[in-house]
Chains A and B, each alone.
Chain A
Amino acid sequence: MSNKTALAEEVAPSEIESDPERIVNDLAIQVATVNGSGSQSSNLVLLRALFRMGIPVGGKNLFPSNIAGLPTWFTIRANRDGWVARKRNVDYLVALNPQTAIRDVESLSPGSAVVYEESLRLERRRDDLVFYPAPFQELAAEVTREVRLRKLLANMIYVGLLGELLSIEVEEIFGAIDSQFRSKKAAVELNRRAVEIGIRHARENLVKRDPFTLERMDGNRGKILIDGNAAAGLGAMFGGASVATWYPITPSSSVVEQLTGFLKRYRKSPDGKATYAVVQAEDELAAVGMALAAGWAGARAMTATSGPGISLMSEFVGLGYYAEIPLVIWNIQRVGPSTGLPTRTAQGDILSTYALSHGDTKHVCLLPASTRECFEFGWRAFDLAERLQTPVFVLSDLDLGMNIWATEPFEYPDRPMDRGKVLTREDLERLGGTFQRYADVDGDAIPYRTLPGTEHPGAAYFTRGSGHDESAEYTESEEAYVRIMTRLDRKFETAREMVPPPVVDQAEPVSPLGIIGFGSSDPAIEEARNRLREDAAIEMDYLRPRALPFCPSVLDFITSHQRVVVLDQNRDGQLLQLLRAEYGDRIPPGVLRSLRHYSGHPMDAQTIVDYVTEMEIGAA
């Protein structure tokens, strides 16, 4: 479920930590800058340098919906035990943004360290912090005479300062710079120089007075650093995505952008032509319309969007459900309602996506919790969509999709593609030349389809979103309507057997306490379980649904526990509502407890620990 177990086998924490005055490989660094200042490269270099030192890390970018001039914070959490969910307390602040510096400093816990632009005079604000001033602009002027570049390079200077203060290996910083700027030799040279100047300044002017330090360990062997959207795009390519139509929207744009990069490189026919079509459509209506029709015509079709786009796609999705057309839709969730907070994370679309469109509709939704699952569901979603002949959603979110995660490498698909029930000309000849598009021949409620272009006079049928019978003929017959709708309901039961089952991790015998959460909540839940176990001897079993509809084991989990926390990253407890709608009074009263986190920040462990601790005190 997390990399905790694997990690513990590799490195026992006790081997590292011996000096109580030093806190080794356990800190959160926050870099506060102005967006558009070029700090992203420096932050990635810092992250990658720590990663290369073998220290488990994660990077989260808290950015505005803006191109330049507004505050942005990048947080790197390094943790020797592998806990890299958001940590509420920052240990090391890099304060370069005058707009937020005072508030940033005021929010720190005592004992934290602040690296800052000395002209901000932050040392006057608190006497319980460790201050490391530096004249960033002056130092940057030593790197280059070019004023435009100075601003960018000032960011790389803090990498050098932190390198010296936290004992980051300079070779690994340089290695990270090489990797970041790849073949751009001049950029590599300038950035290396900026780092060196930062290191020199720290050596000559600063005295280390905080306990935090970093040491090489072996926590990342074989691992890669990747964001969930890249993993999704890569998974989609290995799923054989052949038509991807989309409309740009944060935080989903990078799914298709990165998919396109992979396709351009690896999906050419022998004559150099594309075995795929990627189209930036005029809006989400067109994006989903194109994808749906491409699925109808036999392509592996997908689109990716976020909340507002999902709302716009609603009508076509209902058509896809009723006319039974395969299609994959990635919803990289952000904070709603309406435009909401476009650059903040949430799980606020699970309820609306599950039942998207008017009338009785329900959709298969996959719920990835890691970049590995983004990759895996990237290809599996196509198999499910084509097998079930229906739109399949993958609900990721901004935290998972746009932030950077260390992960074990992805596994190549373990099975051939499932193209579903498609009748060819030969099949039609064998069947005597006719077929019924919407008949349940096999008892699994999944009908057979033919593709346009099939060379047989009996292949054609008429697809419509209006009432139809088994032969796809238009009808307003109530019997036919009920038959088709009832079969669609049964098809959803077939889907229940096919979707990825939940991941369950429970004590033997089961604990009285359990938690259900999904998606990007996973790292925080695992960390909270560990802390509750170690600090309070509270065992909390865990079920993580990986898809809707729920598998039967979800109810088993609920009924075998006395108290089950349902964790939602939304205000209304949408996962809780889905559980109640699904199971009704089969859930004993008082079992489900709702924990709702909806600040737009990624989920953190402390929130769960606090909630559970209080609840368990009440229970005891």
Chain B
Amino acid sequence: MPAPDASSRPRKVNRLGLTPSDYKGKPSTLCKGCGHDAISSQLIRAFFESDVRPHQVAKLSGIGCSSKTPAYFLNHSHGFNAVHGRMPSVATGAVLANRQLVAVGVSGDGDTASIGIGQFVHLVRRNLPLIYIVENNGVYGLTKGQFSATADENAALRSGEVNRLPNIDLCGMAIELGATYVARSFAGDPKQLVALLRGALSHNGTAVIDILSPCVTFNNHAGSTKSYTWGKDNEEPIHILDFVPAMDQIEVEYEEGTDQEVQLHDGSWVRLRKLERGYDPTDRRAAQELVLEANEKNLFLTGLLYLDTSKRTFLDSLELCDEPLALLSEDQLRPPPEVLDEVVASYR
């Protein structure tokens, strides 16, 4: 399926004159067929299609298979593969230093739901402008297949070991904590994923996208609830979601069957066609109920679960100047000698 705006210009060059290969990364060293690689491909496509300038992007990650992936997309963007579970703090520091950066954090379920859950909580609470991707496979891949905290209750490892603890639902947490763009998707659903990523790129605030990303080596067997097969058999999109860039709006006719359009910060739109549920993602309580229901019934509901375009971001709260702090000159950073005299006098 072509993207909605693809007809308006030649396919292989975006408005910046860049080609998809300008958004590529190093060859992946992950297992063949890894869900994470499918996500990297959609990231490349989303950044290309949204005409993001690669030099303005900062890629942040923690530790684990997922956290390796920023090396596999956007070669011309700075990347920072930090320490386990601490991507949120690293993203926060980078964005504070340079508010013009387009920050994309890639994290796993070990990072986000266990070792770094505190940082996840506080990042979301602050509404830092960041695309927070969770490549969720329910296991620790790099340490060879231990359960993570997002593994479903009663799911089984290949060894037969059964998870007896309830899962942590990161989307539910994110909505509870005040995230302003919360989505769930599937590495095996590229069309939906790329639309969600483009929507996140146009959103100003924390965008949490929890993506089922099967681990082909340790958690892709029968009995797993994080496998490709399980995902394909169980995915139930809550709506059909299209991303409509700002510049295309006037050219695109109102499409038959569209039920809801929400405008994002940069003037773009997400266009939703409702399915059986008739779901409104701007309703926070409905979003929380939906997540609860999905957990109770073990449903794999995907799509844009929650969207709030009105909440102020962390940068607004801090009343930061427009110029990136990192680029301030010495005369902006070091007050003149008279200020020192004044302060010193106050200690006499």
Chain A contacts to B: CB under 8 angstroms: 223-226, 230, 234, 237-240, 242-243, 245, 262, 266-267, 269, 271, 273-277, 279, 281-283, 285-301, 315-316, 319, 379, 409-410, 412-413, 416-417, 450-457, 459-466, 474
Given contacts A279-B96, A289-B92, A294-B94, 12 further A-B contacts (CB under 8 A): A238-B340, A240-B328, A286-B92, A291-B93, A292-B93, A296-B94, A299-B93, A316-B82, A452-B101, A459-B55, A460-B79, A463-B79
**Contact A282:B79 (CB < 8 A) given known A290-B89, A293-B91, A417-B334:** no
The answer for the CA separation of A271 and B77 in the assembled complex, in Å, is 31
11 A-B residue pairings within 8 Å (CB atoms) = A240-B333, A245-B93, A274-B321, A275-B321, A279-B92, A293-B97, A295-B97, A297-B98, A412-B340, A451-B326, A453-B58
Residue from the list A266, A269, A297, A462 in contact with B79, Cβ < 8 A: A462
Q: Nearest Cβ distance between residue A57 and chain B, in whole angstroms? A: 14
Whether B181 sits at the interface, judged by CB under 8 Å, is no
B337 to chain A: which residues have CB within 8 Å?
A: 412
Whether B344 sits at the interface, judged by CB under 8 Å, is yes
B76 to chain A: which residues have CB within 8 Å?
A: 457, 459-460
Q: Are the CB atoms of A238 and B327 closer together than 8 Å? A: no
A466 to chain B: which residues have CB within 8 Å?
A: 81
Interface string of B289-301 (1 = CB under 8 A from A): 0000000000000
Q: Nearest Cβ distance between residue A3 and chain B, in whole angstroms? A: 16
The answer for the CA separation of A295 and B322 in the assembled complex, in Å, is 19
**Contact A297:B93 (CB < 8 A) given known A240-B334, A412-B340:** yes
Whether B56 sits at the interface, judged by CB under 8 Å, is yes
Q: Are the CB atoms of B90 and A242 closer together than 8 Å? A: no
The answer for the CA separation of A271 and B319 in the assembled complex, in Å, is 11
Q: Are the CB atoms of A460 and B77 closer together than 8 Å? A: yes
B83 to chain A: which residues have CB within 8 Å?
A: 289, 315-316, 319, 465
A281 to chain B: which residues have CB within 8 Å?
A: 89, 122
Q: Nearest Cβ distance between residue B58 and chain A, in whole angstroms? A: 5
Q: Are the CB atoms of A276 and B54 closer together than 8 Å? A: no
Q: Are the CB atoms of B347 and A224 closer together than 8 Å? A: yes
Interface string of B45-86 (1 = CB under 8 A from A): 000000001111010100000000011000111111111001
Q: Nearest Cβ distance between residue B29 and chain A, in whole angstroms? A: 8
Q: Are the CB atoms of A289 and B101 closer together than 8 Å? A: no
A451 to chain B: which residues have CB within 8 Å?
A: 78, 98, 326
Interface string of B325-341 (1 = CB under 8 A from A): 11110101111010110
Q: Nearest Cβ distance between residue B3 and chain A, in whole angstroms? A: 25
Chain B residue at smallest Cβ distance from A283: B118
Chain B residue at smallest Cβ distance from A285: B86
The answer for the CA separation of A596 and B180 in the assembled complex, in Å, is 56
A301 to chain B: which residues have CB within 8 Å?
A: 93, 97
Residue from the list A225, A234, A242, A290 in contact with B343, Cβ < 8 A: A234
Whether B88 sits at the interface, judged by CB under 8 Å, is yes
Q: Nearest Cβ distance between residue B125 and chain A, in whole angstroms? A: 9
Most buried by B among A224, A297, A463: A297
Chain B residue at smallest Cβ distance from A231: B347
Residue from the list B71, B82, B98 in contact with A289, Cβ < 8 A: B82
Q: Are the CB atoms of A242 and B81 closer together than 8 Å? A: no
Q: Are the CB atoms of A274 and B71 closer together than 8 Å? A: no
**Contact A293:B318 (CB < 8 A) given known A242-B97, A457-B76:** no
Chain B residue at smallest Cβ distance from A52: B348
Q: Are the CB atoms of B86 and A277 closer together than 8 Å? A: no
Q: Are the CB atoms of A275 and B71 closer together than 8 Å? A: no
Whether B119 sits at the interface, judged by CB under 8 Å, is yes
Whether B236 sits at the interface, judged by CB under 8 Å, is no
Q: Are the CB atoms of A299 and B96 closer together than 8 Å? A: yes
Residue from the list A237, A286, A417, A464 in contact with B330, Cβ < 8 A: A417
Q: Are the CB atoms of A457 and B55 closer together than 8 Å? A: yes
Q: Are the CB atoms of B325 and A455 closer together than 8 Å? A: no
The answer for the CA separation of A183 and B236 in the assembled complex, in Å, is 66
Whether B248 sits at the interface, judged by CB under 8 Å, is no
